[in-house]
Amino acid sequence: MKKKKRCLIVYFSQWNTTESIAVEIAKGLKASRYDVQLHNLKGQNTIPDAGEFDLLGIGTPVYYYREPFNVSKYIQGLPPLNQKPAFVFLLHGSYPEDTFTSIWNSLRKKMQNLQDSIIQKEKIFIMNI
Ligand SMILES: Cc1cc2nc3c(=O)[nH]c(=O)nc-3n(C[C@H](O)[C@H](O)[C@H](O)COP(=O)(O)O)c2cc1C
């Protein structure tokens, strides 16, 4: 039987909206036969090494016009991602400013040996309703 691919979704959620979207994304990936691990940076749990997964997802709210410090710290601490695909999802109110670009640019630094054409960039903007 074909081995399942593994996805790590790391997010920060203080008031659970980012978490609820992370859970929905995980459901979709599971339906596509991924094993998915979800980790909220809010907790004290140890985050597994992203290098051991086939796909990395990062979810964040916008707080005070940018991503929270723990999210940028997590991205900066990631190992080189080389050819690993990654996606980012962002929850915000009325003023997301350039938070998506800020996150995406720091994530790209982990992929600096890649040609742009290999990077799949998807904007997932979800407004609070
Ligand atoms: C303290 C605080 C600061 C916020 N700052 C912004 C902001 O600058 N721009 C924005 O668009 N939304 C802002 N929001 C809205 C959040 O991004 C939004 O409610 C998000 O869904 C919260 O995610 P969470 O429920 O996973 O914690 C802020 C919310 C809080 C509580």
- Contact (CB, 8 A) for 38 and 66: no
pLDDT number for residue 43: 84
Q: Indicate the length of the chain as a whole number.
A: 129
- Report how far ligand 1's centroid is from the alpha carbon of 92 (Å): 5
Distance CA 28, CA 2 (A): 19
Distance CA 83, CA 36 (A): 19
Q: Which residues line ligand 1 (CB under 6 A)?
A: 13-19, 61-65, 91-96, 128
Q: What kind of fold does domain 5-127 have according to CATH? A: Rossmann fold (3.40.50)
Nearest residue (CA) to ligand 1, atom 28: 63
Q: Give one word for 62, left, alpha or beta, with left for phi > 0 and alpha for psi -120 to 50.
A: beta
Distance CA 82, CA 100 (A): 21
**How confident is the model over 88-123, as pLDDT tens digits?**
899 999 898 889 888 888 888 887 655 544 444 555
- Report how far ligand 1's centroid is from the alpha carbon of 103 (Å): 16
Q: What is the pTM of this model?
A: 0.90
